[in-house]
Amino acid sequence: MSRHTFFATCPRRLEPLLAAELERLGAGEVRQRASGATFTGTVETACRVCLWSRLAVRVLLPLAEFDCPDADALYQGSHAIDWAEHLPAGASFAVDAGGTSAALRDTRFTALKVKDAVVDRLRETTGARPDVDPAAPDLQLNLRLHRGRATLSIDLSGESLHRRGYRLEGGAAPLKENLAAALLLSCGWPELATAGAPLLDPLCGSATIPIEGALMAADIAPGLLRDRYGFQGWAGHQSAVWERLLEEARQRRQEGLARVPRILGFDRDPAAIRAALGNIQRAGLSGHVHVERRSLDALEAFRGLPDAGRGLLLCNPPYGERLGTEREAGRLNSDLGRFLRRHCRGWRAGVLVADRELGYRLGLRAQRQNRFYNGPLEVTLLQFEVEEAHFLTPRQTLATGQTLPPRQPITGGEAFANRLDKNLRRLRKWARREGIDCYRLYDADLPEYALAIDLYQGDEPRLHVQEYAPPASVDPELARHRLEEALNILVERLEVPADAIYLKQRRRQKGREQYRRLGDSGELFEVREGPARLLVNLADYLDTGLFLDHRPLRRTIREQASGRSFLNLFCYTGAATVQAALGGARKTTSVDLSRTYLDWTARNLALNGFESPGARHQLLQEECLAWLEKQARAKKRPRFDLILLDPPSFSNSARMRGVLDIQRDHVRLIRAARELLAPGGTLWFSTNRRRFRLDEAALADLAPEEITEATLDPDFARRPPIHRCWRIQG
């Protein structure tokens, strides 16, 4: 069967979850994109995704992508498609248009141009004029304009896939079904359900979370209730394949309903419970999901409440913005936290909040957080392990992933505030002049406030704050007080909201801790570095995806790259590769052992208009030292004009054959890289290892020249320097 490339759309921030789901469903070559993911497969693969995806909104089959400077180009590009291959005789169609350009600003007009092109082409080839039915077309076409390019696709899903078919009434502020599924997946519900753990939503509204939880636990395809999909009106539809998929899904549903664990939902609103009961019945889950009218205060008297073992409490409390008042929302969160601490010890909990200061009212320290959008509103899923070690007293403040406490008057810290103001005045003009969105604002300038503070502008200001672990001689209570004081000063002086501060603790990493993820929000946003546009993630890793201190070295690479070949070893997220490409590099090769980093590099290249991977920009998943030595032994040794060698100080990744220690191994690494340097080329070696000593005697014949001072911008011009750098000429 022929294979195609498809695009599954989803709400922002669901892309990582969707990509993982597509892989589980058998899709090939899955790649995250903004608001969705591409994948390859057969028509059967796409039908399976439509039936089984709990997260996707639509599944599109792109037919053509073309330059679209004006309306004539849009018509010609649409007319060039042989629509008789896609639209059956007598079938109706409609066009859904999105995106604009300088010449095409009205989506109604662009949809009309595509409609005219389709009608004209079919009339020319078949002699018949198809019907246009905007309300209920047999075939839905999808047009997207972006940066002067048009993509014309068939919408295989038809109506949005989040509409499962069981919900007629949503209550006052319903949660979309695919967002509810994302919350459940983020909290690990499938694994808990398999182990027989119960699910409890004490604020269930119309029961979207309990129903989606039951569909997952019973292995029920979320699209099984729908009576129509877009692909059923497509000429390429394979009815026998679809019937086989439906029969498989029905069989799995019948088997799965026997193993649904206990699922409970409560709400104080009688209208919400009536809607919930109707939704449960239409979903075919009567007897498997229990809901009843009961307030949170009265829930403690419910005798059927699980009282031991492991379980999941997941809920979407009113935010204040949409239901009730902020005061009511705060009181509700306090009551919810009290219930968790009293009755759910040993459980996992997930609470969706729009304001993370409301999360603080729960009285628990969050272990993980995920950001999503509920419609246009940005929300955060706070995840808790309900154990006494994570209970907060009123005086306790945040750890990684927890929100700031209610603001207190700043009682000290004048020296810290003054230094912050001074640094900001000095660096803000410089950064604006250089076209830089992110820079280090403060780096333990005062020993009492041992923080590294990086300002990321992007689409909105954010702060990445790293607390250096205090020595054992410092009173922990004093350190906690200073941290809380510093965070409140940042909120007040920089006018950055508390939920835009990402706090982490820097300490010596042991074993494989350096690879441990802090979260899985997948929250990427765009920043500028000169002409480059780069993606960073402040939430999920200790580092953000962009080493700010290497900015001048990347600038030098861009300035020297024109017409030359560039090798980026230990490439990380490819920021230097992007700068080389923007500088006009003839070819770039980026090498790293991490698939995550290489995918990130590919996205950074694509963001700047470069196709990757490809002949011009090559990405290699390899252990760098082994790859270098293999290339040096090759009969036709590759040569590079520019080489960046920026290894980690220490690495013992499970995928490596050994352990990398840069102090021990730097001579071997530098010599291996030098073997691939073209005559007249330049090799840069950089390291962030403290107290590193270059073995000058072992490298004397290469004449390494230290250029550290030239590779530090004003925001890192401190003593001792954050890194050291040497240049070796070919």
Give the pLDDT mean for 680-700: 95
Asked if 662 and 648 count as a contact pair (C-beta separation under 8 A), the reply is yes
CA dihedral 387, 392, 397, 402 (to 10 degrees): 40
Give the pLDDT mean for 623-627: 93
Q: DSSP assignment of 649-682, as one string?
A: SEE--TTSSS-EEHHHHHHHHHHHHHTTEEEEEE
- Locate 630 and state its tokens: 């293999």
Q: Residue 397 pLDDT more than 60?
A: no
Q: In the structure, what pLDDT confidence band is assigned to residue 145 with cuts at 50, 70 and 90?
A: very high
Give the pLDDT mean for 189-199: 95
Residue type, 358: L
State residue 243's pLDDT score.
Answer: 96
- Locate 605 and state its tokens: 């290249």
Using CB atoms within 10 Å of the CB of residue 712, give its burial: 0 to 12 exposed, 13 to 18 middle, 19+ buried.
buried
State residue 411's pLDDT score.
Answer: 47
Q: What is the three-state SS of 210-271?
A: HHHHHHHHCCCCCCCCCCCCHHHHCCCCCHHHHHHHHHHHHHHHHHHHHHCCCEEEEECCHH
- The H or E element containing residue 576 is helix 575-582
Q: In the structure, what pLDDT confidence band is assigned to residue 615 with cuts at 50, 70 and 90?
A: confident
Which phi and psi angles does 633 have, rounded to 5°? -90, -10
- The sheet carrying 139-146 orders its strands as 28-33, 36-41, 4-9, 58-67, 149-155, 139-146, 92-98, 131-132
Task: For each of the domains in the chain, give its residue range(s) and CATH number, in order of start.
Answer: 4-155 (3.30.2130.30), 177-218+260-390 (3.40.50.150), 414-507 (3.30.750.80), 535-729 (3.40.50.150)
Residue type, 4: H
State residue 469's pLDDT score.
Answer: 76
State residue 620's pLDDT score.
Answer: 95
pLDDT tens-digit series, residues 352-381: 988 766 666 788 888 888 989 888 788 889
- Cis before 447 (ω within 30): no
* Coil, helix or strand at residue 61: strand
What are the beta bridge partners of residue 28? 40
**How does the average pLDDT of the chain come out, rounded?**
88
State residue 301's pLDDT score.
Answer: 67
DSSP conformational letter for 351: E
CA dihedral 57, 59, 65, 67 (to 10 degrees): -10
Percent of the chain with pLDDT over 70: 88
Q: Residue 676 pLDDT more than 70?
A: yes
Cα–Cα distance measured from residue 152 to residue 402, given in angstroms and rounded to the nearest whole number: 44
State residue 173's pLDDT score.
Answer: 54
DSSP conformational letter for 701: G
Q: Residue 408 pLDDT more than 60?
A: no
Q: Residue 705 pLDDT more than 50?
A: yes
State residue 519's pLDDT score.
Answer: 56
- Cis before 648 (ω within 30): no
Q: Residue 665 pLDDT more than 90?
A: yes
Give the pLDDT mean for 529-539: 93
- Nearest partner of 618 among 602, 634, 636, 637, judged by Cα: 602
Asked if 56 and 161 count as a contact pair (C-beta separation under 8 A), the reply is yes
Answer yes or no: pTM beyond 0.85: no
Cα–Cα distance measured from residue 385 to residue 365, given in angstroms and rounded to the nearest whole number: 9
The number of angstroms, rounded, from the C-alpha of 610 to the middle of its chain's C-alpha atoms is 21
- Locate 227 and state its tokens: 């009576």
Q: Token pair 């992933």 is at which residue? A: 401
Q: Which long-range contacts (CB under 8 A, 24 or more apart) does 722-726 make?
A: 722/443, 722/549, 722/688, 723/549, 723/550, 723/686, 723/687, 723/688, 724/686, 724/687, 724/692, 724/694, 725/553, 725/684, 725/685, 725/686, 726/684, 726/685, 726/686, 726/694
pLDDT tens-digit series, residues 13-57: 999 999 999 999 999 999 999 889 999 999 999 999 999 999 999
pLDDT tens-digit series, residues 48-82: 999 999 999 999 999 999 999 999 999 999 999 99
Cα–Cα distance measured from residue 279 to residue 261, given in angstroms and rounded to the nearest whole number: 19
